[in-house]
Amino acid sequence: MTDTGPLFVSSGDLISDRRYKAAVELAGRGDFVAAADLLTQTVEVAPGFATAWFALGAIRDRLGDRDGAVAAFEAASRADPDDYHGARLQLARLGAGVAPGMSEPYVRRLFDQYAARYDAALSEHLNYRGPALLRDAVESALRRIGRAIHFSSLLDLGCGTGLAGAAFRPFVERLVGVDLSAAMIARAQAKTLYDRLVVGEVVDFLADEIANGAKYDLVLAADVFVYVNDLAPILISIARVLAPTGIVAFTVETHCGAGIALLPTLRFAHSEPYLRDVIAAAGLKLLALEQAAIRTEKAAPVAGLVIVADGRDSGAGQD
């Protein structure tokens, strides 16, 4: 999923807000030069107007003015310290900064905006197959170690509207989901699939579960880690909430280079060598790593990996 548009945060000045909206209308008609001119005038009057700076950066980028786009995104970042708009990600995409972790406000806003049409967009336009691929990979991995696909407890990280929960519900006695977006959780709640749903940040939630001694037989993360740059900390936490025979299964987008890459879609791709390293460092044993097109982007398959691991030989899941 890509961003659904900039967050509008008022400048506090009615005239500046109207100029911004007029510039957006000009851009919508394809007149990017006039839109950039109007936005430049707007930020001269309202230099703390983060939304206008962000829009100016996007339009300058569209016009091929990289330096101008970088300057505008830098101004947007200064005016928007919580990075609601994602200016720091845009700077990294343009090679003007190191790719940061996505801010909670940015991710929350992104999915709150998208929640109402999320299921339809993934199934009808993006050919999203993540939950089905995970179910098949988990079943195959368990079969190889002589186990049936049945779990006393499943933790669905970044559960969204419950697409992965629906795929695994027939095999689970207790299903728990956590997601940063309250709007996505509301959609999942309406499906009555989960025994417990929590609005919260995944790493914080895992820390609470570790402190409370919670254990899960399966931890899922379907299309979640594309919004996380460094997976090492979260995999370490997952290992600590696994039951002694528990497994973790997740999907990622991948690339042919080394380490982690920020894609033009503003999603993170993780290389296979990086994943093998962080899985081992977390004390997990890799059971399956399979290439798969988990979704499409502009009608083209997106390179991805489906991964299943456990901690049988390392003590993961033990206190």
Q: Which domains does the chain have, with CATH numbers?
A: 14-100 (1.25.40.10), 116-310 (3.40.50.150)
The residues near 36 (Cβ < 8 Å, ≥ 6 apart) are: 23, 56, 59, 60, 63
Q: Alpha-carbon distance 153 to 218, whole Å?
A: 7
What pLDDT, on a 0 to 100 scale, did the predictor assign at position 9? 73
Q: Beta-carbon neighbour count of residue 143 at 10 Å?
A: 11
Tens-digit pLDDT profile for residues 20-44: 999 999 999 999 999 999 999 999 9
Q: What's the token pair of residue 146? A: 């002589």
- Report which residue type is found at 299: A
Residue 279: is its pLDDT beyond 90? yes
Alpha carbon of 203 to those of 178, 200, 245: distances in Å? 10, 9, 22
pTM for the complete prediction? 0.88
Backbone angles phi, psi at 253, to 5 degrees: -90, 150
Residue 178: is its pLDDT beyond 90? yes
Q: What DSSP string runs through 92-133? A: HHTTSSPPPPPPHHHHHHHHHHHGGGHHHHHHHTS---HHHH
Q: Alpha-carbon distance 59 to 229, whole Å?
A: 26
Residues for the chain: how many in total? 319
pLDDT-derived band at 3 (thresholds 50, 70, 90) equals very low
Strand partners, 305: 252, 291
* SS3 label, residue 221: strand
